[in-house]
Each structure stands twice: as C-alpha cells, then as structure tokens.
Amino acid sequence: MKRETGFTIVEVLVATMIMLVILAATVGALTDAIHATQAVTLMADTQENLRAGMNYMVRDLMQAGGGMPQSGITIPANTVPWPGTAGKFPAGWTSLPAIAPGGGLGPITATSGVASDLITILYADNTLLDNTFAPAHWLNEFPINLAGSCPTGSITSTGAAPSLTITVKFDKVACVSIDTGNTRLSVGDLILLQNNAGGCTNGNSQVASSSCDSSGSNPTSSQALRTITGVNTATNSITFAPADPFSLNGAALPAGTMTATRIWMITYYIDNGKPARPQLMREVNLKGASPVGDVIENLQIFYDIVGTGTGTGPRPLASTQNETPTFAQLQYIRNAYILMFARSENLYTPTGKYIRNNLESVVSIRGLNFYNEFK
C-alpha cells in the first residue's frame, strides 16, 4: 500500500496562527499608514485654509493707507455702517482711518470661547489704468473740473443737501475711460473727491457754508467720500445719489479743483452663521462678503503704535498687546500682529476629534510707516 503524506492537525494550527499574526501585523501597519496619511491630510487642509486667509490679509494690510490722507477720510459722524458688524463706526469717529480695529467685535465660535476680532482696511486703488492712451492714464491723474486738463470733465448736481444728487463726468477722449475691463468703475465703489481749497460747492459754484452744515459735512473740508449709485458708460460719468448703503451721499462737495480716487474699504471678520464651519470672510465696499478661509475658529489682531512722546529720534513703540487702540492712536499704527486659528474640516478617525492648527504673522504697514526724524 502507498504511504499517505500530509500535515498533522498541530502543523495546520501552527501555520494558521503564523499567518494570522502576519496578517494582523500587516493590517495594523496598513491602518497606521492610513491614519498617518489622514492626519497629514487634515493638517494640510488646516494649513491651506490658514495660509489662504493670511495671504489675503497680509496683502491688504501692507497697502493700508496708501494714497490716503494720513489723518483719514472725513465722514459724517455716526452714520457709516461698519461692515462685519450690526452697527456703525463709533460716534466719535469724524474720519475713517487706514486701519479700523474691531477688537472683540466678532462672534464667539463654539470652540474659541472668546470674541474674535475684525478689521477694516482702507487704501487707494492702484489698478484703474486706461491703457488706450500712450502713456496710460490713471483715474486721478487729471482734475475733473479744470478747463484745459479735462476739457469736457465736469461736476453737476440736482437738488439741495441733504438730498443732493451729484454727477461726475470724466473726459473720455483726453483723460480716462471709466469702463476699462476688470478695473472699471461700478455701483458700490467708493470715490474720494479731493481738492486744495475749503468751503462747499453745489455743482461748480461756491455756495454758503450753511448748505454743508445742514447735511453734517464740514464746510472747510477738502475731501469727500462718496458711494457710486449709478454708472453711465455712454457719457463716461458716475452718479452719487442719496440713500446709498454707506449713508455718505446727499451732502455738498468741497469747492475748487477736484480729483477722483477710488478707495477700497476691505473688512475681515469671522462668519459664525454655520457654527460647525465658521469662515473667515472678506468684504469689499459692502458688496457682499466672500469666504477666504474655511473652518477658521478665531481671529486675533494686535497692534504696534508709535508713542506720542517728543524728541528728534524715532518714538518708542507702545505695548504690542494693544487690541483696541483709541481713535487718536489709529494714525500711529505701524505693525499688525495676526493670529489665526483653524481646525480640520473632518474628524480624525482614531480619536474622533478635530485636528487644530494656527498661524501667526506680523505685517509692517508701509502706508503708515513714515516718520519724520528731522522734525
């Protein structure tokens, strides 16, 4: 008879146990690798959201104050809404500064435990350039109502303050076209009208100071901020009608030769409308906010402020832990410290919790950094 060969039950059991041990080790290593990959992915997501929001803020902060009067832009007191909040700029503010800090004015998210900050940044536009000319012309390159520079440019008005409607026409042939592709003027844009004279004007003629006072405007102001309510590309003109979103229109303009500059008012704040996914929002000129960072739980901003002491050398900096500068200190802000906190968009499987990350940056504000050491 042939001899039968095979494995004993003990050998089969031993082999099975060895295979199970190897399989368990392999599955464990694979699971650890999957978890590690998930952790890296979630951390990368938080980093991406943080960097996206930070890049926007740094870019705007570096330009804050550029092309603006150092003391800010004169506004009617306590009438201008503050983007990102349910209220208005403080009643004591007679001008809009290059940086308007909103320490603690943002929402408290479900996990931060403290009120977030917001910030409003203003600077002059440097993109509206009409390339149909050689050389190209800027919007504010020529006076609007000075014969010889822009011969068909004009400022006209209808009605009386505080229901004054003002129309500004630019010379399309000699000066600039307001319909220049992506940089064209549009409804909701803010325009700073400036001159070098005092008084108030109704159209192009000098009027009594009382016409300005009745609308809350300073009769000796050389500037006026207005909101575009209408654009007519056929006549190359813009209109400032009353009842605009910023409550800036309706008053008379300063007298004299006028130039026009577009101003960006940009606000960053946390939107907690969906508590599970708070977002960092960027709002331009009350035109509707857009998210620039997802699942951002907290935003904190601190400021370096030049001291008010006397002396010929650079003045010392105040505490960097100043989150709510006074109105008098706003024009002396030199650096902004941004702290942004984010969490992952999804839970980390092994712990069932979110992964959190943060990013810090300091911005030197070029438009406000001038100091006359020879004063």
Report pTM.
0.82
In whole angstroms, what is the distance from residue 272 CA to residue 275 CA?
Answer: 5
Domain ranges of the chain: 43-70+86-120+267-368, 129-257
Residue from 290, 326, 321, 287 nearest 304 by CA = 321
Q: Is the pLDDT of residue 309 over 60?
A: no
Q: Is the pLDDT of residue 201 over 50?
A: no
Can you list the alpha helix ranges (DSSP code H) found in 153-225? 210-213
Residue range 66-100, pLDDT digits in tens: 888 878 898 877 789 999 888 899 888 888 999 99
CA dihedral 151, 201, 266, 187 (to 10 degrees): -60
Residue range 109-154, pLDDT digits in tens: 888 888 999 999 999 987 777 877 777 888 888 888 766 667 778 8
Q: Is the pLDDT of residue 230 over 90?
A: yes
Name residue 55's amino acid: N
